[in-house]
Amino acid sequence: MLPGSLHTHFPTLPFPPPPVQHLLTTAWLTFLSRARPPALQVSPTVKALAGSLGGVVEACTLQPIDVAKTRLQLDHSGQYKGELAGVTN
């Protein structure tokens, strides 16, 4: 704490004072409620299609990485050298 700061002269003084804290909080919550767009109604069919597409992208992305990891973990003969060797062979 720096000498001469407000905390040394008024150690119990809350900053900002509670009425100001209340006004700031109320103003912020009012701003957020007005700035938020209305909730969109998404049909279950669209949700199912989006989830399916996400699953396909995840499987196509992570499956080759998992194969390379398994090859590197199980390689006891020294066939794969380096991080990308399991992918290229």
Give the pLDDT of the chain (89 residues) as one tens digit per residue.
Answer: 455 555 555 556 566 677 778 888 888 888 877 777 777 888 999 999 999 999 999 999 999 888 888 888 888 787 777 666 656 66
Residue 65: name the closest of 86, 36, 41, 42 by CA.
Answer: 86
Find all residues with CB under 8 Å of 8, minimum gap 6, and list them.
1
Does residue 30 belong to any structural domain of this protein? Answer: no
Q: How confident is the model at residue 39, as a pLDDT?
A: 76
Does residue 7 belong to any structural domain of this protein? Answer: no
Q: How many domains does the chain have?
A: 1
Q: How confident is the model at residue 49, as a pLDDT?
A: 96
What pTM does this model have? 0.45
Locate 22 and state its tokens: 């209340």
Does residue 35 belong to any structural domain of this protein? Answer: no
Which single residue is written with the structure tokens 């995840």?
A: 58
Q: How confident is the model at residue 74, as a pLDDT?
A: 85
- The dihedrals phi and psi of 74, each to the nearest 5 degrees, come to -90, 0
The whole domain housing 62 covers 43-89
Q: Report the distance separating Cα 74 and Cα 18, nearest Å.
A: 63
